[in-house]
Chain A
Amino acid sequence: MQLTLAFVMLTGAVFLAFIRLVRGPSLPDRVVALDLLASLSIGWIAIYAIATNQSIFLDVALVLALLAFLGTVGFAYYIAKGAMSWRQT
């Protein structure tokens, strides 16, 4: 019962973040929404591991946290680089 409520709230959160990902007026807005979607996926995996009683799924959450951090850092790096060349010309 509690886990069903947690799944419902996480689904609503993913839906709201996806609306921001589609609507976001600028690229950094979309990156923030994507980062939030990765965080929500980590929470989803943890709740799913509890619901299925399989602790091995927490490995997936750890790898997903690492990849989300790398992706956000890469996006930030290239946004800053793009701004730099845009200002120079």
Chain B
Amino acid sequence: MIHVGAVAGKNTRSVTEPNMNTANKKTPYEHLKEKWLDRHKNLQEKLRAKHKESLEWVTKNLAPKQLAVGSLGSLLLLTSPGIPVLPSAHLLPATQEVSNTISKNAFVVTDLSHILPNEVRPLTSDEEEKVVQVLSRDFGFTLAAELEGKRLNRSYGFIGQEQHLARYPGDTIATHFDPPAGGDAQKYASEGMAPGLGAWGYFAQSKEQFTEKDKMRETYYIAVQTFLAPGFLDHVKEYGDFFKYRKMLVVNPNNGNAIVAVIGDAGPGESTGKHLGGSPEVMRHLERVDGSFKGPVLYFFIDDPHDTIPLGPVQLQ
């Protein structure tokens, strides 16, 4: 299903923008409106003609108060001859610039809302397939719940807040940000450093060997429950190598915010009620928080064999 919330477009123009088509040429809107109004009218007439008795019965026998709020539209569609009409122009600001006021993310949020279950649980393979289709199409990546025969225990779960990881021996909160004060330090230093190292140790063996790539990996890392992956315990080394710095797309299905991250740690424990963790930078971009207001994210492997996809926030295509 799609709904009125699904109105963000890739190419949009202002309501008041002059039509560039000539007077004799129909705009895309006029073309579709004419066709779809005709078809709508035909469908409505056909429905009334075929099922007149039962439609009249439900109209007479159901008091308006009995109707669930969400069903009013359904009943009105059944019982009224009305056809959805163009909203009055005066209901909208006269100079509204469509694409500036409505986020493109509305589309991905709407699409996902029709696939995801109400509760946060592991997705079925059918649901995973549909989500992968939507995200691959919208973000332009090749995504998969399973890659090289390996998958995580789930692809939809609650994300919790992780701390910064030591990137090389001697890395502390004082050396973690450049510059050490202001900027990112001001935003992210308060989360502190994790007391231990990530699952794969330091990102670089020394400060001298530390590269921009290492820096990005720690900045945009997630911790996933590698130890719960099917088959992990039988092939610990093989699975560990596979998961190490594996790129994943992480998406907040409630706002469409997405980020390319790497698996930089293993966790959280099963008892926490959370299913993965995000670095302070990942969490901020996704607009997710820990604790009682924790929320779910989707996370899928990115098939990027040549390592061409940069880490960090991504926009819809």
Question: Do these two chains interact?
Answer: no
- A-side residues, CB < 8 A to B, are none
